[in-house]
Amino acid sequence: MRLPRLYSAEPIKGTGTHLLGANSAHYLAKVLRMGVGRPLIIFDGSGGEYSAEITALEKKSVTLSVNEFFPETRESNLPIELVIGISRGERFDWVLQKATELGVTKITPLFSERVEVKLSGERLEKKLDHWQQITISACEQCQRTIPPLFNTPQTLHQWLSENQAQLRFVLHHRTDQPLKEIAPPPQSVSILVGPEGGLSETEIEQAVAAQHKPLRLGPRVMRTETAPVAALSLLQFLWGDLG
């Protein structure tokens, strides 16, 4: 049976005693129905993971005995940044989860012309915490040991001026350029995806001017939550660690 995996926001300082907070206590006791003596795997996002055992389980804390370190790395050899217009409801959450499972290295939410979601101040901070927790939960499930880096939302102009990826794509269903015709294998990739309604023609032109290749994934127009998953899968298959 596969052992449960749990992320620790506090750095794990090798073997010995390690404490986790109230959220972890609730998850272990109420969701997983685990008690004292149960084994699990913990990781802190710095690489590698540890075997551990629950030695005390209180309402607001968990005490673990940290045992052996395993220098596991399940990161793709292809660094990929996903830059995607913020969409409404659970669509964006779903994209973050699947992108993490597919090995994306960095995620940047985008405020583009057609983004209808308004976020600022405390609401933005809460949303960022929520999004980061989704990527962490996905890492727990898919056995990654290093969560993707999560940037604060940016405007398209700001991101285009800072993007350093060797190969840059902007998803655009009206182009004739398929992925299979692009070579050689890159050292890093960025993918720019619009929100619901896509990027505007002006934004497409700005991306192309910033050396982003228009990329079409096929003859069908995909939803904003489907397109990045398809693109990430293809990139990992061609140049990363899928297949």
pLDDT tens track for 105-159: 999 999 999 998 888 888 889 999 999 999 999 999 999 999 999 999 999 999 9
Of 203, 133, 144, the closest CA to residue 171 belongs to 203
Q: Return the half-sphere exposure (C-beta side, CA atoms, 13 A cut-off) of residue 28.
A: 33
For residue 112, what pLDDT is reported? 92
How far is Cα 73 from Cα 53, in angstroms, rounded to an integer?
Answer: 22
Within 13 A of 130's CA, how many CA atoms are on the CB side? 11
Reduced to 3 states, what is the DSSP secondary structure of residue 142? Answer: helix
Query: Which residues have CB under 8 Å from 171's CB, separation 6+?
Result: 191, 192, 193, 194, 215, 216, 217, 227, 228, 231
Tens of pLDDT, residues 41-98: 999 999 999 999 999 999 899 999 999 999 988 999 999 999 999 998 889 999 999 9
Give the other-Cβ count within 10 Å of 85's Cβ. Answer: 26
pLDDT for 180 equals 66
Buried b (16+ CB within 10 A) or exposed e, 211-232: ebebbebeeeebebbbbbbebb
User: What pTM does this model have?
Assistant: 0.88
Question: Is the preceding omega at residue 184 within 30 degrees of 0, hence cis?
Answer: yes
* pLDDT recorded at residue 1: 65
Report DSSP letters for 70-95, one per residue. Answer: E------SS-EEEEEE--STTHHHHH
Residue 229 has pLDDT above 90, yes or no: yes
Which H or E element spans position 3?
A: none
Residue 172, pLDDT score? 83
Pairwise CA distance, residues 100 & 84, whole Å = 14
pLDDT at 126: 93
% of the chain exceeding 70 in pLDDT: 97
**Span 158-197, pLDDT tens digits:** 999 999 999 999 988 777 766 766 667 889 999 999 998 8
Average pLDDT rounded to a whole number, residues 31-49: 94
Instruction: Please state the φ and ψ torsions of residue 2, each to the nearest 5 degrees.
Output: -70, 135
Q: Which of 133, 130, 152, 148 is nearest to 7 (CA)?
A: 133
Residue 183 has what pLDDT?
A: 64
What mean pLDDT value characterizes the chain?
Answer: 91
Question: What local confidence, expressed as pLDDT, does residue 52 receive?
Answer: 97
